[in-house]
Amino acid sequence: MNRALRNAVTVLLLTLAELGAQAATKNKLVDFSGTWKLNAKKSRGAPEWRPDTVLVVLQSPQQIHFTYFLNDDARQPFESHDYVTNGKEAPLYTSANERTFYSVRWNDKNVLQVKIHHLVRAEIADTDWSETDIWTLSDDGKTLTNRVSDGKLIVYDRAEREKPLQY
């Protein structure tokens, strides 16, 4: 192989490798993991939670875990959710007259969709409805936002210091 052809092939291979690396980086999901504090001032229609509510998020490639605490010093969470992020519907919980399912998937590299489907059995008629939460992380990684299907906007700011989980 002559030198010019070898150089052209080398440049082509290096270019393809660089494009592949850029594509892999571009499609990599952001990590929501961290400790987040409710920002009641930026939130709209937020739940009746205390203004010092803390959210701890743990994320792996196929799962995400949300744990809510009343404040930084709380030892026990008041709410917790574990989701598999493959987009397939799975059981969330079952009670005497209600069955609830969830499906969670990534819509974009920094957008997580959580859909909850409720089925309630009653004597007269069964009812069902769905809720959809859209979680997004700001480009700078400092703000986590939850847009709820009922119009609520719940905003969390990344905590200044990371605190280890205590449960």
**Could you report the per-residue pLDDT of 109-162, keeping only the tens digit for each?**
888 999 999 999 888 888 998 999 999 999 999 999 999 988 889 999 999 755
| Per-residue pLDDT at 12 | 40
| Per-residue pLDDT at 3 | 53
- What are 35-39's contacts with CB under 8 Å, separation 24+? 35/158, 35/159, 35/161, 35/162, 35/163, 36/144, 36/156, 36/157, 36/158, 36/159, 37/156, 37/157, 37/159, 38/154, 38/155, 38/156, 39/143, 39/155, 39/156, 39/157
Secondary-structure breakdown of the chain: helix, strand, coil percentages, each rounded to the nearest 5: 15, 45, 40
The answer to whether the beta carbons of residues 65 and 55 sit under 8 Å apart is no
pLDDT tens-place string over residues 114-125: 999 999 988 888
Please state, rounded to an integer, the average pLDDT across all residues of the chain: 80
CATH number 2.40.128.20 is the correct assignment for the domain at 31-158: yes
